[in-house]
Structure 1
Amino acid sequence: MEDGLQVALVGYGLAGRVFHAPLIEATPGLRLHTVVSSNADKVHADFADARVAADPGMAFADPAIDLAVIASPNHTHAPLAIAALAAGRHVVVDKPFALDLDEARAMAAAARRADRLLTVFHNRRWDADFLALRALVAAGALGDIAELHSHFDRFRPQVVDRWRERPGPGAGLWLDLGPHLVDQALQLFGLPDAVQADIAIQRESAEVDDFFHVVLRYARLRVVLHAGALVLGAGLRFAVHGTRGSWFKHGLDPQEAALRTGAIPTGDGWGVDTAPGRLLQVDAEGTLREMPSPAPAGDYPAFYAGVRDAISSGAAPPVTLDESLAVMRVLQAGHDSAASGRVVRP
């Protein structure tokens, strides 16, 4: 028997090649056994020992496979995950978990029937900036939070010919970046009372949404999730305001950029953010002071370590089914709100 849990990775595009394959290979106790791809040369250039299958069903049927990772286009997530679960495999699905809440519920039911792990790759729980924000909130450094602004803006004026930007199920920015921002908000504050969403097309040649401005409403707190494709140079990632102070963060976590260059996701320098946030507080005398901001390192490898431990020893999965479904409830509410022009309760 081969050592460790044997992994079949379905899809070797951006998600599979840049994120999943390197993190799987860097995780002790996991081994990239098979890649489902139509381009064997591309796979073998990176992983010479990996088997390449042309069809996902072949990989799912292989008794050597313990874990299937679905990193294919969004509209295939639900059918492939359900097929893998039916074959007795544990499953990781890249975000979004599904196209809508009905699909997500069907996936969860399939996992329960099969008694297998099903989890979603919400890797940005382990962004350095989000870990810093989580520490600030947990410590009460900002007091009672009144506003959180979470941005993931880019400047991409040209529409690229890829499935994410072509009309069809699963395309568009809300299902691309929305899951990251929604999951982070829910990790901090839980499900909102209501969702108000503006999802739009702004670029002249775009055919699917490339902008969203979504407000999650809590009793007093407002969480603003924002992304656009025509934002140049601002770089705001977080702005958080509370009764004791404010925290600002510019620039993105460095892990994605490092993975794109082929860096190995291990070592003391991995995930270190050289641009920590700015923490402002007012002291008892009313004087504004800038205080040291937490600066933890980002830790994407923690996700697959958590998957390994959940399968091998029954530990809690890094993202639970309930958490996966909660994100889908908010994503669905966002779509419904934007379509109706109304505030929607998730």
Structure 2
Amino acid sequence: MKTINAAVIGYGLAGRAFHAPIINCLEEFNLKAIYTKNKANREEINRRYPNTEVVTDVKDIFQDDSIELVVIATPNEFHYPLAAEAMAANKNVVVDKPFTITSQDADQLIHLSQQKNAVLSVYQNRRWDSDFLTLKKLIESGILGNIVEFESHFDRFKNTTSNNWREESGPGCGMLYDLGPHLIDQAVNLFGLPQAVTADLRNQRECKETVDNFELILHYPNLKVTLKSGMLVKIPTPRYTLLGDRGSFVKYGLDVQEGDLVNELTPLNKVDWGKEPEAIYGRIATEIGGLNVDGIVESERGDYRQYYLSVYRALVGEEPLAVTPQQARNTIKLIEEAIVSNESKRTIDLDGKLI
């Protein structure tokens, strides 16, 4: 089996919790280098990954011919230039979400990847959340009949100010760019590209200058999809609400993998990786063979390793990418059109804007 040398640029939340530990769990990859200038981060990397080199200049990664895959896990504004530089250095690239700040930048990266014959993907890891895998299986089973409405929430409660680039005022900042890509990608993965979008974007906290609450309505011929996120949600709302003409499914709680990864638990040191507790299993009410059924649905097991295994199989030519750059580009275009919708207070037709 071929082993791919990988390097991670950035060791904030994305690099620390989502990329480095998952790559390190897979024998298909060797975590060869991590870029960071932060002293505390360097000490942590040396502790957790003693065989991984810590570099303070990204050129050390780009000029290392043994490194085949570069992961961009930096603040959003650096995604485009670093991904472009990596591919110019003949590297394959994974970009943390959001792909880019603009769809024009996304198009340019896609064009460059085609010129370089490089594998380019975006880390839409929440396609491998336990609750999403369960939801997808339910829809495919047809047990709820024709789906007429879907509502997806990703809420938090945080009413205080923090020094976090995600919450600053600037290009690519705010909740729409932070959590929006997850919700949009999941919805499009389930139902395909929408015909139109209507958006309401707000700043609900006086201490912040950027979007901290959004509601997107994606319009389909016979389906309404609502995507919502807010920072002032003290009492949890359902993560998913799925309505069909034969029944409904409601799910509370979040996939457990992020919490485990933040606490340095990984598939290497935790039994039952990605398994949700029964307390947050979803509830279903439907009709089967003339019988009314009301009960719980055991969640599928989540596993973020599957994203990187998909990247590996694309790198060695075994199968196409699960998350393509074209899909990620459409997510950014949807975000751009949502901003236009909010500013103009109208529904935006997406015909010809998505590829």
User: Runs in 1 of length 4+ with deviation above 4 angstroms?
Assistant: none
1:294 CA displacement: 4.6
Separation in 1, partners of 2:54, 2:101: 27
SS where residue 240 of structure 2 aligns?
strand
Q: Which moved more, 1:296-305 or 1:46-55?
A: 46-55
Q: Which residue in 2 is equivalent to 1:276?
A: 281
1:288 CA displacement: 4.2
1:246 CA displacement: 0.3
* Structure 1 residues 283 and 302: CA distance shift in structure 2, 3 A: closer
1:120 CA displacement: 0.2
| Structure 2 counterpart of 1:296, from 274, 296, 300 | 300
1:325 CA displacement: 1.9
Q: 1:293-337 CA deviation, whole Å, 9 max, x = no partner?
A: 252100111011111111023421120122222222212221221
Code of the aligned partner of 2:74: S
SS where residue 68 of structure 1 aligns?
strand
Code of the aligned partner of 1:332: E
Q: Which residue in 1 is equivalent to 2:200?
A: 198
1:265 CA displacement: 2.2
SS where residue 227 of structure 1 aligns?
strand
Q: 1:171-223 CA deviation, whole Å, 9 max, x = no partner?
A: 10000000000000000111101000011100111111100011001112010
Separation in 2, partners of 1:122, 1:15: 12
1:340 CA displacement: 1.8
State the percentage of identical aligned residues.
38
Q: Which residue in 1 is equivalent to 2:167?
A: 165
* Structure 1 residues 318 and 268: CA distance shift in structure 2, 3 A: farther
| Structure 2 counterpart of 1:340, from 339, 344, 349 | 344
Q: Which residue in 2 is equivalent to 1:316?
A: 320
Counterpart contact for 2:197–2:349, Cα < 8 Å: yes
1:284 CA displacement: 5.8
SS where residue 236 of structure 1 aligns?
coil
SS where residue 341 of structure 2 aligns?
helix
| Structure 1 counterpart of 2:311, from 277, 285, 307 | 307
Q: Which residue in 2 is equivalent to 1:105?
A: 107
1:292 CA displacement: 4.7
Separation in 2, partners of 1:85, 1:314: 21
Equivalent residues, number: 344
Code of the aligned partner of 2:332: M
SS where residue 138 of structure 2 aligns?
helix
Separation in 2, partners of 1:322, 1:171: 22
1:268 CA displacement: 5.3
Q: Which residue in 1 is equivalent to 2:260?
A: 258
Code of the aligned partner of 1:174: L
1:237 CA displacement: 0.2
Which ranges in structure 2 are unaligned for 5 or more consecutive residues? 351-355
- Over aligned residues, Cα RMSD in angstroms? 1.6
Code of the aligned partner of 1:148: F
Counterpart contact for 1:96–1:175, Cα < 8 Å: yes
Q: 1:264-311 CA deviation, whole Å, 9 max, x = no partner?
A: 2256501001121101113565x6421452521001110111111110
Q: Which residue in 1 is equivalent to 2:30?
A: 31
Separation in 2, partners of 1:4, 1:154: 39
Separation in 2, partners of 1:142, 1:334: 30
Code of the aligned partner of 1:271: G
Separation in 2, partners of 1:71, 1:213: 26
1:54 CA displacement: 1.4
Separation in 2, partners of 1:342, 1:56: 43
Which ranges in structure 1 are unaligned for 5 or more consecutive residues? none
Separation in 2, partners of 1:24, 1:235: 33
Code of the aligned partner of 1:306: S
Counterpart contact for 2:143–2:288, Cα < 8 Å: no
Q: Which residue in 1 is equivalent to 2:80?
A: 78
Counterpart contact for 1:246–1:279, Cα < 8 Å: yes
TM-score in terms of structure 2 length: 0.93
Counterpart contact for 2:103–2:330, Cα < 8 Å: no
Q: Which residue in 1 is equivalent to 2:353?
A: none
Counterpart contact for 1:4–1:30, Cα < 8 Å: yes
Separation in 2, partners of 1:296, 1:111: 34
5 Å matches for 1:19-98? 19-39=18-38, 40-98=42-100
